[in-house]
Amino acid sequence: MVELENTQKFILDATAGYRMMWFDKQQVNTIYVDNRPECNPDVVADFTHLVTFADNTFKLIVWDPPHEIRYPTDPNCSFIHDFGFLKPETWQSDLRRGFRELWRVLKPMGVLIFKWNTKSKKVKDILRLFPVKPLFGQVTKGSAGRRKHESKTYWFCFMKILEERSETTMSDIIKESKKGVKPHLLIVQQIIDKKKGGEKQN
């Protein structure tokens, strides 16, 4: 596992490729990841399996997965070479797993930027795979084109906003259940303790 706690690496490009979107291709705060060694990433890994990184590691994640859902008919195809492809039989599960894995390594209140081109699949078919809705999105200027069915490039912004939870965490429940305490009794006891505390203040 890569130790980043004492470094300035708080940005992750999970599908860096040849870093074409970057103004600074050696940005000092960024870890560049790709599953193709020939792209010369900082870490060779697939976006669906980022075991290299601990939970809640990055403040900002950029995710620009391959938009082509097909096997290349031409092994020398420059587009596939530059951007990669998703397998027709696994593209849905790959994107689902990818989102979950990126959400895991994203810090609370962190931001995930997701890019998708509609050449193979419509945006609605992609967003329904994710358990979280984006805050907002935008079509890249000039990408809509004049033709009705021309593909478009979309950018979406997700934020890991955590809801308030009960003070009794799953970790607490597991620990207490090992001691023989039933989970629902632990939560009930917490409610009773809170009520007693409020009565004392009154």
Domain limits for position 139: 11-159
Residues 175 and 110 in one domain: no
Residues 83 and 131 in one domain: yes
Q: Are 155 and 114 in contact (CB under 8 A)?
A: yes
Give the pLDDT score at 7: 74
DSSP 130-172: SSS--SEEEEPTT-S-SSTT---EEEEEEE-PPPP--SS-HHH
Please check whether residue 3 lies inside any domain of the structure.
Answer: no
Is the predicted pLDDT of residue 147 greater than 80, yes or no?
A: no
Helix (H) or strand (E) holding 12: strand 11-13
What contacts 13, CB < 8 A, 6 or more positions away?
19, 22, 30, 31, 32, 33, 61, 62, 64
Residues 86 and 174 in one domain: no
Q: Are 12 and 33 in contact (CB under 8 A)?
A: yes
Q: Tell me which of 121 and 171 has the higher pLDDT.
A: 121
Query: d(Cα 118, Cα 116) in Å, to the nearest integer?
Result: 6
What number is the average pLDDT over the span 29-57?
95
Residues 155 and 176 in one domain: no
Task: Give the tokens for residue 137.
Answer: 């999105």
Please check whether residue 5 lies inside any domain of the structure.
Answer: no
Is the predicted pLDDT of residue 148 greater than 90, yes or no?
A: no
What number is the average pLDDT over the span 88-113?
96
Which CATH number does the domain housing residue 99 bear? Answer: 3.40.50.150
Query: d(Cα 64, Cα 49) in Å, to the nearest integer?
Result: 16
Residue with tokens 């609605």: 124
Q: How many domains does the chain have?
A: 2
Is the predicted pLDDT of residue 21 greater than 90, yes or no?
A: yes
Please check whether residue 111 lies inside any domain of the structure.
Answer: yes
Is the predicted pLDDT of residue 69 greater than 90, yes or no?
A: no
Residues 147 and 176 in one domain: no
Q: Tell me which of 69 and 127 has the higher pLDDT.
A: 127
Please check whether residue 96 lies inside any domain of the structure.
Answer: yes
Give the pLDDT score at 63: 97
Please check whether residue 58 lies inside any domain of the structure.
Answer: yes
Residues 117 and 190 in one domain: no
Give the pLDDT score at 144: 46
Residues 45 and 137 in one domain: yes
What number is the average pLDDT over the span 184-190?
55
Is the predicted pLDDT of residue 168 greater than 90, yes or no?
A: no
What number is the average pLDDT over the span 59-84?
77
Please check whether residue 37 lies inside any domain of the structure.
Answer: yes
Query: d(Cα 106, Cα 113) in Å, to the nearest integer?
Result: 11
Q: How far is CA 23 from CA 27, 41, 115, in A?
A: 9, 16, 17
Residues 142 and 75 in one domain: yes
Phi-psi region of 55 (alpha: psi -120 to 50; beta: other; left: phi over 0): beta
Give the pLDDT score at 11: 98
Is the predicted pLDDT of residue 153 greater than 70, yes or no?
A: yes
Please check whether residue 181 lies inside any domain of the structure.
Answer: yes
Please check whether residue 62 lies inside any domain of the structure.
Answer: yes
pLDDT digits (tens, 9 = 90+) for 44-59: 999 999 999 999 999 9
Is the predicted pLDDT of residue 167 greater than 60, yes or no?
A: no
* Percent share of the chain, pLDDT over 70: 67
Give the pLDDT score at 193: 62
pTM over the 0.85 mark: no
